[in-house]
Amino acid sequence: MGSQLRQKEILEVLHREGRVEVLALAEQLDISVITIRRDLDHLAEAGALRRVRGGAVTTVLRGEGLPFEVRAVDDSALKARLAQAAVDLIADGEAVAVDSGTTGAAAAAVLAGRRVTAMPFSVQGIAALAAGSTVTLLLPGGSVRQPEGTIVGPLALQTLTGLRFDTAILTCCAAAPGVGVTAYDLDDAAVKRALHTSAERTILIAEGAKFTRSALAVVCALDEVDVLVTDDSAPAEALDRLGEAGVRVVTV
């Protein structure tokens, strides 16, 4: 088992139970105690947990997500495929707003190779799109929410009121059927709602795991997006209902 997969499993147990023990993890994952301790130390450095005697406890409060640095390496290959599938739906010459988060950063990296006008709402997205020689880069106002790098606040919302995009690439913390597209942070959710409202078309990127979660702030109903880009781990029943409601579902 590779270190990224192993650490992902550790985080899943930690997120579910709030505490992990070194000996129990070593037995569960069939890995040496030394390797487990090294994994926990690495995750502690990334801010995903706090080391305690014999194990670790979560640093994530109820209703919060994992740090950006941890999520960035979590299923990074899948996020890259989802980002590519979303950007493949965008035509040259479009004006595109790009949401924040690790998936938004992945989409910005792909979009940097296209001839588009783009406005990213994260510092990671700005860095990715600034490297694109064919991109007309527009910068929003707003403040940066650290450590996520998300651009939020009244100035960000004011920027969006005066613009109309062809497409908004929207990301989310959760996409539970019956609840909708949700985010952990209230300011982030407000920008996501404004992105959705400011665009002729909304492409939501949500990996299958997002359908099992729910977060605090509702952005919009799932059937209010135009396109959903997801993977084959998403619940088939939910995807069928969205298709019947007129949402185009793209599965990678």
Q: Which of 230, 225, 241 is nearest to 178 (CA)?
A: 241
CA atoms within 13 A on the CB side of 71: 20
What the chain holds in terms of domains, given with CATH numbers, is: 3-60 (1.10.10.10), 71-251 (3.40.50.1360)
Q: How far apart are alpha carbons 239 and 237 in whole angstroms?
A: 5
Per-residue tens of pLDDT for the chain, all 252 residues: 677 778 878 887 887 788 899 999 999 999 999 999 999 998 888 777 889 999 998 765 444 555 555 555 556 788 999 999 999 999 999 999 999 999 999 999 999 999 999 999 999 999 999 999 999 999 999 999 987 899 999 999 999 999 999 999 999 989 988 899 999 899 999 999 999 999 999 999 999 988 988 788 999 999 999 999 999 999 999 999 999 999 999 999
Tokens of 35: 């390797």
Q: Which of 169, 123, 188, 121 is nearest to 149 (CA)?
A: 123
Inter-helix orientation angle 33-45/22-29, to 10°: 110
Q: Which of 194, 190, 196 is nearest to 218 (CA)?
A: 190
Tokens of 140: 């929003």
- Model pTM score: 0.78
CA atoms within 13 A on the CB side of 168: 26
